[in-house]
Structure 1
């Protein structure tokens, strides 16, 4: 079933980006798996939010959490290097990737239902408390538990294909062997203190070596959202993800 799940996701991404109304291009997805009973899920109630859901809250007979990463083609992050505001390409990629994640999840659910399995979908974004800015289901933390990557200084998940992309997660009652979580860090700063470029790139002074002000971060995201409101919901920034050693790859090898 693991191979079938991965083929469904990868083939959908490949065909979807050939649609005439889609301008975003993604590299081949990375996919990882977590045991729904992994003890680390309960720790998210402390690490993220006391209201953070567990896999069994979403699906009674949950067996596996599937996490996947859609890496952007390099032209998208490269377009977002200059200026204070996000580039149009970055905003577009945010909107279109949220859309494709929803479509992937819907498609995967339909395919698995044909095989008499269940799958529960979680929205790609905006499933958080707008005052506390804390999520009830953090795709990044769930993906970390699944072994998809490790957190960088910028609070983003650094995968083997970097941090420039988007994460989707679903819960299913298919039993799939969990991906092994790696002990080593993927962030150069956490690895040996040799990099803090993401801190230097933060345009709203939200990210520091020993502190992250999520409200200042969200303030900048809302500013971009207002600038691109004619395109859709694009409350995004991304400056701390681009022009970094970890933008497109894991720099700690």
Structure 2
């Protein structure tokens, strides 16, 4: 029955054209894959006591749009993906409720604004850690989840459910190749060369940069996920050589397109 239920969940996701879906048993939060780990109050069963499984979905951030970042183009794409994540996870939770399994969606961010994040730089639930435990990716030096399909160019949403779903295996290899492009090119100097979680992002520097971009209506920054060479999407868009983002790179036709977009739509 549980395998049939999981197949039904995956079919519902397929109908909504969700490319990435993973499942984690809530017990995985009690067995940290690395230390330091989050406090128990952030566990799914602490937020929704009925939770037995967490379903994590991922939607890609299209690379050619991201390449214009920071820009109004990426700003609007970011908002669109966020809206879809909330809608899809809500619909998935509703589907499970209708067939008898108490379920709730978790909003994709969990904070009110960049200004709020500057004062308290943490949300009540981590979709990144849920994606890791659901077998969708591994952490990179840039403090994001890298996936085989899209590298770090993915946004995640989660459903906490009482359904006893079989968990997916976690990825047992490290996807980050330690090229350090994200560290070198971060405009806020917010990244460290150490692996996650030792090299945690300087959240204050990152948030301050985002707040400045937000005033110009062109947040978020996006640089650390743009320059990452990991992901099959780079091959799809014929962007296998990530050095095209380095200063002085001879990529005139790309730079003309990016500069055109950046001239408009923001303050």
Asked if TM exceeds 0.5, the reply is yes
Deviation of the 1:76 alpha carbon: 1.9
Give the counterpart of 1:98 among 64, 82, 85: 82
Structure 1 segment 6-155 matched on structure 2, within 5 A: 6-12=10-16, 14=17, 28-40=18-30, 46-48=36-38, 50=39, 52-80=41-69, 86-127=70-111, 130=117, 131-155=119-143
Secondary structure of 2:79's counterpart equals helix
Alpha carbons of structure 1 residues 44 and 244: separation in structure 2 relative to 1, 3 Å:
closer
Match of 1:2 in 2: 6
Deviation of the 1:243 alpha carbon: 2.8
Q: For the residues of structure 2 that align with 1:44 and 1:99, how far apart are their CA atoms? A: 32
Give the counterpart of 1:188 among 177, 182, 196: 177
Alpha carbons of structure 1 residues 42 and 58: separation in structure 2 relative to 1, 3 Å:
farther
Q: For the residues of structure 2 that align with 1:219 and 1:247, how far apart are their CA atoms? A: 28
Single out whichever of 210-219 and 147-156 deviates more from structure 2. 210-219
Match of 2:215 in 1: 226
TM-score (norm 2): 0.74
Say whether residues 1:160 and 2:160 are aligned partners.
Answer: no
TM-score (norm 1): 0.78
Match of 1:19 in 2: none
1:195-226 residue CA offsets vs partner (Å, 9 max, x unmatched): 11111220111113144311000111111211
Q: For the residues of structure 2 that align with 1:175 and 1:120, how far apart are their CA atoms? A: 15
Gaps of 5+ in 2: 236-267
Q: For the residues of structure 2 that align with 1:41 and 1:223, how far apart are their CA atoms? A: 38
> Alignment length, in residue pairs?
221
Gaps of 5+ in 1: 15-27, 81-85, 190-194, 229-233
Alpha carbons of structure 1 residues 51 and 44: separation in structure 2 relative to 1, 3 Å:
farther
Q: CA RMSD in A?
A: 2.6
Give the counterpart of 1:217 among 206, 225, 229: 206
Deviation of the 1:2 alpha carbon: 1.6
Secondary structure of 2:226's counterpart equals coil
Give structure 1 regions of 4+ aligned residues with deviation exceeding 4 angstroms: 41-46, 247-251
Q: For the residues of structure 1 that align with 2:40 and 2:224, how far apart are their CA atoms? A: 28
Give the counterpart of 1:201 among 185, 205, 218: 185
